[in-house]
């Protein structure tokens, strides 16, 4: 088989799985509402509390970044990681693997579908925030869109380590919620300890915030170096985890 033929076949597999995950996403479209509900309610509360204050684009960025990051992380966790566990526990994942001959077309298709979804989510949330704070910035909106397209696949890949945990989907729901809230609480913490600083930098919320700053032109050698290191770590952890997680549910708790 030629290289072109192999690539074409892989793309065809991704396209087939994309239809499946697109259908699943429409069936679970209530997740879109729940993912946006917390950021919108929190932003509405904050916006009404500071209604009398003027908001510059820079201040708007500071206000919305943690919740833009939450939307990306929540969609990656629910739409990709937990969805993968659900299809594994239902026995579909192993069947799809036998059909496609590889586990990666399934992952790629789901990430593609969820990327489109999370871009729409962040557009809605960003426009809502701009309207609430009466501060519109096309540059920020475009940066958020690009940020989502760049960061979401990497976050989804990084969360693959959760697939190695000895739990079924119903047991992971509480873990997922705790993880999202815990990461949000750890966002923005500073430390002089190099090891702790690196662990903080691994926080997807922090990674997303740094990426947005870079996209908005706040580029430094240190920030860029940390960004590249985090991307490499995310990719290595994600690929190894997904490649080694069990495609068959063995009745784990």
Q: What Rg, from alpha-carbon coordinates, does the chain have?
A: 19
Number of domains within the chain: 1
The 10s digit of each residue's pLDDT in 209-248 is: 989 989 988 888 888 888 899 999 999 999 999 998 887 7
Residue 1 forms part of a structural domain = no
Residue 252 forms part of a structural domain = no
Residue 26 has pLDDT above 90, yes or no: no
Mean pLDDT, rounded, for 200-214: 89
Residue 59 forms part of a structural domain = yes
Residue 249 forms part of a structural domain = no
- Model-wide pTM > 0.85: yes
Residue 253 forms part of a structural domain = no
Q: Find the domain containing 238 and state its range.
A: 9-244
Residue 101 forms part of a structural domain = yes
CA distance 85 to 162: 9
Output the CA–CA distances (angstroms, integers) from residue 104 to 9, 138, 157, 251, in the order listed: 13, 35, 11, 24
Percent of the chain topping pLDDT 70: 86
């Amino acid at each position: 088989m030629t290289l072109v033929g192999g690539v074409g076949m892989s793309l065809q597999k991704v396209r087939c799985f994309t239809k499946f995950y697109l259908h699943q996403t429409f069936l679970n479209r209530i997740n879109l509402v729940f993912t946006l509900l917390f950021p919108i309610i929190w932003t509405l509360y904050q916006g009404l509390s500071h209604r009398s204050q003027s908001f510059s684009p820079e201040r708007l960025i500071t206000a919305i970044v943690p919740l833009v990051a939450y939307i990306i992380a929540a969609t990656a966790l629910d739409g990709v990681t937990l969805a993968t566990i659900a299809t594994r526990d239902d026995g579909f994942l192993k069947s799809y693997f036998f059909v496609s001959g590889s586990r990666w077309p399934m992952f790629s298709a789901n990430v593609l579908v969820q990327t489109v979804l999370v871009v729409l989510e962040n557009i809605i949330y960003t426009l809502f925030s701009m309207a609430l704070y009466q501060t519109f910035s096309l540059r920020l909106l475009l940066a958020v869109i690009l940020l989502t397209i760049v960061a979401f696949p990497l976050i989804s890949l990084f969360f693959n380590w959760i697939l190695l945990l000895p739990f079924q989907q119903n047991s992971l729901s509480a873990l997922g919620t705790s993880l999202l809230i815990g990461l949000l609480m750890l966002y923005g913490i500073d430390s002089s300890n190099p090891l702790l600083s690196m662990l903080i930098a691994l926080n997807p919320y922090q990674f997303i915030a740094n990426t947005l700053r870079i996209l908005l032109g706040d580029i430094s050698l240190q920030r860029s170096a940390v960004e590249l290191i985090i991307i490499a770590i995310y990719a290595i952890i994600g690929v190894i985890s997904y490649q080694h997680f069990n495609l068959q549910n063995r009745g784990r708790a």
